[in-house]
Amino acid sequence: MDQWSSLILDTLVQGGKLLAQFWVPLYALMGVLGVLLAIESIFKSRTPQGAIAWALGLVFLSPVVVPIYLFFGPRKFYGYVEARRKGDLEIHRIAEKLMAEMSALFSPEEDNSPGGVLLEKLALMPFTKGNKVGLLINGEQTFASIFDEIDRAKHYILLQFYIVRDDKLGRELQEKLIEKSRQGVRIYFLFDAIGSFSLSRCYLNKCRQAGINIEPFRTWRWGKRRRFQINFRNHRKIVVVDGCTAFVGGANVGDEYLNGNKRLSPWRDTHVRMEGPSVQGCQLSFLEDWYWVTGEVPEMDWHPDGVNSDQRVLILPTGPADLVESCQLMFLHVINSATERLWIVGPYFVPDESILNALKLAVLRGVDVRLMLPGKTDNRMVQLSSYAVLLDLRNTGVRAFQYQQGFLHQKVVLVDSDRAYVGTANFDNRSFHLNFEITVMVKGQQFAAEVESMLNDDFKHCLPLTGDDLAQRNVVFRSLIKLSQLFSPIQ
């Protein structure tokens, strides 16, 4: 027994020495890398809070945080910028031709306030008139309308989703696309590689065998100036049929969007259906993403026609490849332009200090500022971070409400009596800086009234939530809120 004990002890000692030989140099290497990357994070982080969070972690927890930073750290999405520049000649030619043909459909100058001009500069496109925009409430309406339009397609279909699942809804979409492909309709289908990581190879092969052009949007590529940028996502949801009809909103392709998730159902979401020249803005956004993935410029209809409607619409794609922080600037302008009402609805509300200050100023101007947030959540960490924000907004006059009837996933903003915004972007760091998003901005009292009616119905299923309510919770809960706030800049 003593012999075996001695042998085991000797083995452990030798193993410890061997481990120390490798661990000490590795730890030292991680420490040096941590310091260097901390310096990089200070210069390249999008926010001071993010710079502090990364720098402290990289210096004091380097073996853990260095690998995380290399995968998720702050940086511009350089690969997309390079690809877009290479495709500029063809895409710029298409954009110039489109602008020329749309000139008769531009919204009249007298309707464009200085704020409208600002948004047009962010979008690199003008507001257009002659659009028809309709609300689609929840997944049933959304996919019924999308499927009807797919059935009527004659030439081509563009589809782009963050999440595509191989489930009942996903297979129903697949069957419709296969049928249209057999009829000679060209189909171009983009999905985010991370959001749709569970999509089966069988699903993709079946689509490709039927002639469907289906590709993942990957934000990582090896090679010159290409880093493993896994933290970026393409969060856009776009469907365009024959260049005549487009759909944009919060719903992805999965059974949960048709109330298939027992824990979160019923699922509350909003989409819009568009006709008119605004459809061309959705096509142009899709084209840039498709070119990044494939290097190809597919044939599309770039001849916009107005419809018998006076709705004025601007399509604003935003993302980490933009020269400025377009998404954040858009929301800052939206808040600062409100004079009477500002209703913000979304599942994830973790804005930075600039947005919070803008909300406080809006209240001081006499604006009715309301936040509608989910009661049920699919991300507890983000919800706790949003509670920390509500604590910061305590006693400011900003009113918050929690939706109680299922999971609230819609992304909608209503401003005054004549402006409404529906899209894919959330009020958080990810949408502001990391995700590719798209927002539909509609001017006009008719559509705003429809959105107001929809949100008033939603408010009936809400309960008020105040910072005082959260401050009275137990110390463990309050500690979790504060802890989550520390990580909000890098969520």
> E strand or H helix at 30, and its extent?
helix 2-44
pLDDT digits (tens, 9 = 90+) for 350-364: 998 899 999 999 999
**How high is the pLDDT of residue 359?**
97
pLDDT tens, residue by residue, 177-228: 999 999 999 999 999 999 999 999 999 999 999 999 999 998 765 444 444 5
**CATH 3.30.870.10 corresponds to the domain 78-110+132-309:** yes
Could you say which architecture CATH assigns to the domain 326-490?
2-Layer Sandwich (3.30)
Beta bridge mates, 267: 407
- Cα gap 342→329, rounded to integer Å: 16
- Whole-number percent of the chain with pLDDT over 70: 81
Task: Give yes or no on whether 78-110+132-309 and 326-490 have one common fold.
Answer: yes
Give me the sign of the Cα torsion angle 350, 411, 234, 359.
negative
DSSP for residue 432: I
- Residues 7-49 pLDDT 10s: 555 665 565 555 555 666 766 777 777 787 777 777 666 666 6
Percent of the chain surpassing pLDDT 90: 55
Instruction: Give me the residue spans of the domains in the chain.
Output: 2-72, 78-110+132-309, 326-490
Cite the beta strand spans of 75-137 per DSSP E.
128-137
User: What is the mean pLDDT of the segment spanning 378-385?
Assistant: 87
CA dihedral (246, 251, 256, 258) positive or negative: negative
Provide the residue type at 323 as one letter: L
Residue 50: what pLDDT? 67
Digit-coded pLDDT (tens) for 260-306: 999 999 999 999 999 999 999 999 999 989 988 888 989 999 887 77
Q: Which are the catalytic amino acids?
A: 235, 237, 242, 409, 411, 416
Please enumerate in sequence order all residues whose Cβ is within 8 A of that of 3, keeping only pairs 6 or more positions apart, or say none.
none
Supply the mean pLDDT for the chain.
Answer: 85
d(CA 474, CA 484): 16
